[in-house]
């Protein structure tokens, strides 16, 4: 028992969990034809069948049931404000499965030149009253019942009265912002708290204007819109939901990482030996000491960032994103690739932190400008 | 029930449906035929959000998941419970927390706060799932691009509504969550006093952007989460944001119809 727990604790540590998910993710939600072939070869699309769905559900259920026997697990999962997130995990898993099941199903129809499941004769419509109205009524009643039962069963949390002089440890934002708070570990607040959320909103709004693929309107499908669906899933499931889950369940006092079965020890020590890129360059590699001029000090990091955003896009456009570039045109491609590069900068910075303890690529604390 | 009784009962319903009062409220009477059913949708201010007829897949639960409708419904539930809560709650440091205790212990059948809080969490989830469904069915594509944009605004407003409401109980959970959340505003480029570029906005030695004049100050009405912040969040939560979100919702619903109704395979 303890062995299983310690294995899960180890697997859940961000380095391992994140690596596992990133490596497997694009095989499960293939990004392009190459991944798609592997997806078929490894039979990963069997997730999206009734049998696969039931298996996933049972695994999730067993995990939570098993976990609830553990005191530390119970303490965190059953905290009233965390209950919605447990619900969220099940709901997201279910609806991901439901949409992918219908998408894969339709892919087969499209391959065989048949009509998709959603197709019906345009002249053969149903009446809103009663066909839709009664479904809405039932949904409404069920939702009301759920809310009332939930409300009677679980009291809304109310802690001690507000005390500005006594900060709890850890102090957490509301759960839907925990992905951003998790980013604070790796980025300065102006990036994690201001730039990223703005870009997320702008990026979401830009989706319909960047996706020039006309196929796939009005029915679930995967193969026709592989890249769009895959990227959306990555942004939503990994960079959004997963970070929220990590932030809620696995971050304890001092924002240290704790496995799901680990005791939240206030005194857990985490070595803080993060080093800026400029320190790497001047102190470790050149052994000259830091130059006084800020620009000279940070020039390497600035060049790196400029290279990332200015050299990579045209490079990709010429090489493995050539088709995409031709399809999207100059402007759309530029916006698209910049948004993607920003999204990728999250995992990149995380890995740099884990592997070489990199603190900032550009560090100009004098002007609060740290990247 | 004998046949004659049944007939009699029917005729009472029928007479009720044909009475002047009923017909003055619901013009088309009790819908019994195709025409009546169409009219009942057409003539109702609430139901006419819907078209009269729909493609078959559009009424299937596995296509829409009902998430958009449920989000709207939960919004209504939150409005009603919110209004009830406003009877009991005073947004001052002195009373806010004790009013919460009162709500819990003195108000009979007091689950309004529970419904409001859990409903708020649920609405965030249903809005996400609605967005997910719309993405997976490609419903954001032309001609519905702009409605997707409006939808993203609605998602943002939903999160902001939930965030402003988080402060109101004025307990440790509330004040520190808002402190963590609003601390990020300090670092807004140019507009926050600890943001990059803020130091550039100065006249001689005088900083234009400092702790008493940046966006965080505007948000909290002070340098820390206190009385003014509570009032600001209360007003935003009860009046400001609902006002804005209702406008966006009106546009969102209107545009569904104007952009060709629910997405349909060609």
What are the tens digits of pLDDT across the range A231-244?
999 999 999 999 99
Is pLDDT larger for residue A206 or for residue A354? A206
Residue A283 has pLDDT above 60, yes or no: yes
**Which of A99, A172, A364 lies closest to B133 in CB terms?**
A99
pLDDT mean over A133-151: 94
Q: Which residues of A touch B256 (CB under 8 A)?
A: none
pLDDT mean over B137-153: 95
Residue B252 has pLDDT above 60, yes or no: yes
What are the tens digits of pLDDT across the range A206-220?
999 999 999 999 999
Domains and CATH numbers, chain B: 62-258 (1.20.810.10)
pLDDT for residue A356: 87
A201 touches chain B (CB under 8 A): yes
Closest residue in A to B77 (Cα–Cα) = A144
pLDDT for residue B74: 97
* Distance between A301 CA and the closest CA of chain B, angstroms: 16
Neighbours of A279 (CB within 10 A): 17
**Is residue B109 packed enough to be buried (19+ CB in 10 Å), middle (13-18) or exposed (0-12)?**
exposed
Rounded Cα gap, residues A313 and A338, in angstroms: 8
pTM score above 0.90: yes
Residue B20 has pLDDT above 60, yes or no: yes
Rounded Cα gap, residues B55 and B58, in angstroms: 6
Q: What is the DSSP letter of B111?
A: -
Query: Which residue is listed with tokens 């102090």?
Result: A171
Is pLDDT larger for residue B193 or for residue B118? B118
Q: Which residues of B touch A218 (CB under 8 A)?
A: 57, 137-139, 262-266
A38 touches chain B (CB under 8 A): no
Of B122, B116, B109, the residue nearest B86 (C-alpha): B116
CB pairs under 8 A between A and B: 275
What are the tens digits of pLDDT across the range B174-210?
999 999 888 888 888 888 888 888 878 888 888 888 8
pLDDT for residue A149: 95
**Which of A124, A136, A168 lies closest to B172 in CB terms?**
A168
Token pair belonging to B11: 């005729």
Q: How far is CA B75 from the centre of its chain?
A: 4
The CA-CA-CA angle for residues B135, B138, B141, to 5°, reads 110
What are the DSSP calls for A138-165, one per residue?
A: HHHHHHHHHHHHHHHHSPPP--SBP-TT
Q: Which helix (H) or strand (E) holds A183?
A: helix A178-183
**Is residue B251 packed enough to be buried (19+ CB in 10 Å), middle (13-18) or exposed (0-12)?**
middle
pLDDT for residue A208: 96
Residue B36 has pLDDT above 80, yes or no: yes
What are the tens digits of pLDDT across the range A289-341?
888 888 888 899 999 999 999 999 999 999 989 999 999 999 999 999 999 99
Q: Which residues of B touch A192 (CB under 8 A)?
A: 184
pLDDT for residue A235: 92
How do the domains of chain A map onto residue ranges? 2-117+174-183+219-255, 277-370
> A140 vs B148: CB contact, 8 Å cut-off?
no
pLDDT for residue B6: 63
**Is residue A43 packed enough to be buried (19+ CB in 10 Å), middle (13-18) or exposed (0-12)?**
exposed
Rounded Cα gap, residues A113 and A119, in angstroms: 13
Residues 158-197 of B with CB under 8 A from A: 159, 162-163, 166, 169-177, 179-181, 183-189, 192, 194-197
What are the DSSP calls for A242-265, one per residue?
A: IHHHHHHHSB-GGG-B--TTS---
What are the tens digits of pLDDT across the range A32-41?
999 999 999 9
pLDDT mean over B57-78: 94
pLDDT for residue B8: 63
B82 touches chain A (CB under 8 A): no
Is the ipTM beyond the 0.90 threshold? yes
pLDDT for residue A198: 94
**Which of A139, A171, A209 lies closest to B145 in CB terms?**
A209
* Distance between A22 CA and the closest CA of chain B, angstroms: 21
* Distance between B168 CA and the closest CA of chain A, angstroms: 11
Beta-carbon contacts of residue A251 (< 8 Å; ≥ 6 apart): A170, A172, A178, A182, A257, A258
> B113 vs A172: CB contact, 8 Å cut-off?
no
pLDDT for residue B5: 65
pLDDT mean over A20-27: 93
Rounded Cα gap, residues B244 and B236, in angstroms: 10
| Mean pLDDT of the residues in chain B | 90
Is pLDDT larger for residue B103 or for residue B207? B103
Token pair belonging to A287: 């052994």
Rounded Cα gap, residues B132 and A305, in angstroms: 32
pLDDT mean over A192-206: 94
A119 touches chain B (CB under 8 A): yes
Residues 206-225 of A with CB under 8 A from B: 207-209, 211, 213-221, 225
Q: Is residue A268 within 8 Å of A254, Cβ to Cβ?
A: yes
SS3 B92: coil
> A135 vs B61: CB contact, 8 Å cut-off?
yes
Q: Which helix (H) or strand (E) holds A369?
A: strand A369-370
> B225 vs A81: CB contact, 8 Å cut-off?
no
pLDDT for residue A369: 85
C-alpha pair distances (Å), A342 with each of A336, B106, B135, B145? 10, 51, 21, 23
pLDDT for residue B28: 78
Q: At what angle do helices A83-111 and B112-136 cross, to 10 degrees?
A: 20
Q: What percent of chain B has pLDDT over 90?
A: 60
Residue B85 has pLDDT above 90, yes or no: yes
Sign of torsion over alpha carbons B36, B37, B40, B43: negative
| Mean pLDDT of the residues in chain A | 91
Q: Which residues of A touch B114 (CB under 8 A)?
A: 150-152, 154-156
**Which of B54, B148, B199 lies closest to A125 in CB terms?**
B54
Q: Is residue B121 within 8 Å of B261, Cβ to Cβ?
A: no
pLDDT for residue B12: 81
pLDDT for residue B13: 77
Question: What's the pLDDT band for B40 if we cut at 50, 70, 90?
Answer: confident
The CA-CA-CA angle for residues B90, B94, B98, to 5°, reads 70
pLDDT for residue B4: 64
**Which of A102, A155, A204 lies closest to B62 in CB terms?**
A102
Beta-carbon contacts of residue B257 (< 8 Å; ≥ 6 apart): B49, B51
Token pair belonging to A357: 């303890």
What are the DSSP calls for B206-244, one per residue?
A: EESSSTTTSHHHHHHTSSSSSHHHHHHHHHIIIIIHHHH
Residue B1 has pLDDT above 60, yes or no: no
Q: Which residues of B touch A173 (CB under 8 A)?
A: 177, 180-181
Question: What's the pLDDT band for B2 if we cut at 50, 70, 90?
Answer: low
Is pLDDT larger for residue B40 or for residue B233? B233
Q: Is residue B162 within 8 Å of A176, Cβ to Cβ?
A: yes
């Amino acid at each position: 028992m303890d062995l299983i727990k310690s294995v899960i604790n180890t697997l859940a540590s961000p380095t391992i969990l994140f690596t596992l998910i990133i490596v497997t993710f694009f095989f499960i939600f293939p990004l392009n034809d190459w991944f798609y072939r592997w997806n078929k070869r490894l039979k990963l699309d069997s997730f999206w069948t009734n049998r696969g769905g039931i298996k996933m559900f049972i695994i999730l259920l067993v995990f939570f049931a098993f976990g609830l026997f553990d005191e530390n697990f119970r303490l965190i999962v059953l905290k009233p404000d965390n209950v919605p997130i447990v619900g969220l995990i099940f709901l997201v898993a279910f609806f991901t499965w439901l949409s992918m099941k219908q998408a894969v199903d339709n892919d087969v129809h499209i391959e065989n030149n048949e009509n998709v499941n959603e197709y019906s004769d345009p002249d053969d419509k149903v009446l809103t009253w009663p066909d839709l109205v009664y479904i809405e009524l039932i949904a409404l009643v069920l939702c009301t019942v759920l809310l009332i039962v939930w409300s009677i069963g679980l009291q809304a949390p109310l802690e001690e009265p507000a005390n500005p002089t006594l900060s709890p440890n850890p102090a957490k934002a509301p759960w839907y912002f925990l992905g951003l708070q998790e980013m604070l570990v790796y980025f300065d607040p102006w990036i994690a708290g201001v730039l990223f959320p703005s870009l997320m909103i702008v990026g979401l709004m830009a989706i319909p204007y960047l996706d020039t693929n006309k196929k796939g309107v009005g029915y679930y499908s995967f193969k026709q819109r592989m890249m769009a669906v895959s990227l959306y899933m990555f942004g939503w499931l990994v960079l959004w939901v997963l970070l929220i889950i990590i932030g809620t369940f696995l971050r304890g006092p001092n924002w240290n990482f704790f496995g799901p079965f680990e005791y939240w020890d206030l005194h857990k020590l985490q070595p803080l030996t993060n080093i800026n890129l400029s320190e790497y360059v001047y102190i470790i590699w050149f052994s000259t000491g830091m130059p006084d001029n800020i620009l000279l000090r940070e020039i390497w990091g600035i060049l790196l960032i400029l290279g990332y955003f200015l050299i990579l896009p045209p490079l990709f456009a010429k090489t493995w994103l050539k088709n995409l570039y031709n399809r999207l045109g100059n402007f759309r491609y530029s916006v698209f690739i910049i948004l993607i590069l920003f999204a990728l900068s999250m995992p990149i910075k995380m890995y740099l932190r884990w592997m070489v303890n990199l603190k900032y690529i550009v560090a100009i604390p004098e002007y609060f400008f740290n990247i | 029930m004998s046949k004659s009784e049944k007939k009699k009962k029917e005729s009472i319903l029928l007479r009720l449906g044909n009475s002047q009062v009923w017909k003055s409220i619901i013009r088309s009477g009790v819908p019994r035929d195709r025409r009546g059913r169409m009219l009942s949708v057409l003539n109702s201010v609430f139901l006419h959000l819907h078209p009269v007829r729909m493609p078959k897949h559009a009424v299937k639960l596995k296509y829409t998941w009902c998430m958009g409708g449920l989000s709207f419904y939960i919004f209504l539930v939150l409005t009603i419970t919110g209004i009830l809560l406003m009877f009991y709650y005073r947004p001052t440091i002195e009373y806010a927390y004790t009013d919460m205790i009162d709500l819990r212990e003195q108000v009979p059948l007091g689950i309004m706060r529970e419904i409001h809080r859990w409903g708020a969490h649920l609405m965030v989830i249903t809005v996400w799932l609605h967005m997910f469904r719309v993405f997976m069915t490609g419903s954001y594509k032309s001609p519905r691009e702009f409605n997707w944009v409006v939808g993203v605004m609605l998602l943002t407003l939903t999160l902001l509504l939930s965030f402003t409401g988080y402060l109101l109980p004025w307990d440790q959970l509330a004040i520190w969550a808002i402190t963590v959340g609003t601390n990020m505003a300090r670092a807004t480029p140019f507009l926050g006093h600890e943001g990059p570029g803020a130091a550039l906005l100065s006249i001689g030695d005088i900083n234009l952007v400092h702790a008493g004049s940046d966006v965080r100050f505007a948000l909290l009405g002070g340098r820390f989460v206190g009385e003014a912040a509570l009032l600001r969040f209360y007003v935003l939560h009860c009046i400001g944001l609902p006002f804005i979100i209702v406008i966006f919702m009106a546009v969102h619903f209107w545009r569904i119809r104007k952009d060709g109704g629910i997405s349909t395979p060609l």
